[in-house]
Amino acid sequence: MLVYALKRLGVAGLVALTVSFLSFSLIYVSGDPAFALAGETATEADIENIRRVYGFDRPIVVQYLDWLGSALTGDFGHSNYLNTDVASVIFDRLPVTMTLGACALAFALALAIPLGVLAAMRPNTLLDRFALTVAVIGQALPSFWFALIMIFWLGITWRLLPITGTASWLNFIMPSVALGYYITPAVMRLTRAGMMEVLSSDYIRTARAKGLKPVRVLFKHALRNAIIPVVALSAVQFGFMLGGSIVIETIFAINGLGFLAWESIQRGDLPMMQAIVLVLACFYIVLTFVADLLNAFLDPRIRVS
């Protein structure tokens, strides 16, 4: 297990290093950063002065290593628009996005796994068709449109839930459902396919022949093996939701990291954009690494593959 974990850690480190370089390169996507900071009315002397002050005249590799060293210590630079440290703003907004992502994932798993298990137990029945219909609707329904529908009915027409803000746990219900329902189809189909494969295997028939209770066969023997790919998918989807929450946070005016990313793009706040991309990518990498370890724990065959 230790050897497998070290291998996966090495791969995660290489991916993180690549992502850090891509994040750093964002500052040059729009052209000369010195010209962007100086403005259109700046003279050539002003641009050269900014290039010298901010270190843009140094080799790109030196700039990257300097930026990476600062990022590893938690220093992501200074926001030119907010006039404050980037790290303080990000870590102030991050808990909101993490809460939204966790609630959305919990909703998706609570809906998708039971539906997948029931559909696998009763294939080609009305229950199976209902589960597949839920999956098809979830895949075809854009999350932003679903969010607007819930706002109209639950927030405006019936006034059951608050529309904006993060004042209480009620504010997270509609955003979590809108964000979580988007990944429900993938989890449900994967659970259904895994359960159908496991339930038809020899060791399940042996367990039933030995007289084990159906509930024990289902949860202890079948679901444990069928859930392995779901663990990896859930970790990946959680990382996807953290990065993809920008639309949902914008619609519901949730002051999280996704909404901050949208604001930074509008303002052209390059240091903030760099840090957001790097932080979200690192979360994605860590979650994938944890999922690999969990899969190796649940299925020892993965460790020697």
Domains of the chain with bracketed CATH: 33-73 (no CATH), 87-304 (1.10.3720.10)
CA 279/CA 292 separation, integer angstroms: 20
Cα–Cα distance for residue pair 251/147, rounded to 1 Å = 8
The position carrying tokens 């559909």 is: 119
Q: What is the pLDDT of residues 196-248, one digit of tens each?
A: 999 888 888 888 888 888 888 888 778 888 888 888 888 888 888 887 788 99
When pLDDT is cut at 50, 70 and 90, the band that residue 15 belongs to is very high
State mean pLDDT over 14-28. 88
Q: What is the pLDDT of residues 47-105, one digit of tens each?
A: 888 888 888 888 888 999 999 999 999 899 888 788 899 999 999 999 999 999 999 99
pLDDT at residue 184, rounded to an integer:
93
The answer to whether 139 touches 185, Cβ cutoff 8 Å, is yes
158 burial via Cβ count (<10 Å: 0-12, 13-18, 19+): exposed
Name the burial class of residue 291, with classes exposed (0-12), middle (13-18) and buried (19+) by CB atoms within 10 angstroms of its CB: buried
pLDDT at 163 over 90: yes
**Cβ–Cβ under 8 Å, residues 281 and 7:** no
Mean pLDDT check: name the lowest of 32-46, 173-187, 190-204.
32-46
- pLDDT of 305: 58
The amino acid that residue 276 corresponds to is I
Which pLDDT value is given to residue 2? 77
Are residues 208 and 185 in contact, defined by beta-carbon separation less than 8 angstroms? no
The pLDDT of residue 148 = 95
Structure pTM?
A: 0.87
